[in-house]
Amino acid sequence: MAQMKAEAAPQCFEGELQIRAMFAEADKLIDSGFLCLLNLPVKDANGRLQGQVNLALPEGRLDSEGMAALAAEAQKLLPLFMAARRDR
């Protein structure tokens, strides 16, 4: 999540080279057939990062419209992130 905090933007890692460079568990992910990994930020009304949604897909090549649609869906989870923090 440190990289997500630094960039505060959706991230997409496609293909073995990108996945191996970013994930310690790359072999397990690739062996499971996941070749597209997405990290989508979930921000509050003030733009502060409250969490992230991670998706693993068998293949990638998402265009900017597809990424925007997935990011918008991830943002709908904000109430769950906020409720989880209040429960601690």
Q: Tell me the per-residue pLDDT of 27-61, one tens digit each, with 9 for 90 and over.
A: 999 999 999 999 999 999 999 999 999 999 998 77
* Cα–Cα nearest to 10, from 56, 41, 42: 41
Query: Which structural domain, as residue segments, surrounds residue 64?
Result: 2-86
Question: Please, what is the average pLDDT of the chain?
Answer: 89
pLDDT for 1: 57
Query: Chain-centre distance of CA 31, in angstroms?
Result: 20
* Cα–Cα nearest to 58, from 79, 80, 29, 84: 29
Tally of structural domains, the chain: 1
* pTM of structure: 0.83
Q: What angle do CA 58, 35, 38 make, to 5 degrees?
A: 90
CATH code, domain carrying 12: 3.30.450.40
pLDDT for 85: 80
Count CB neighbours of 6 within 10 A: 9
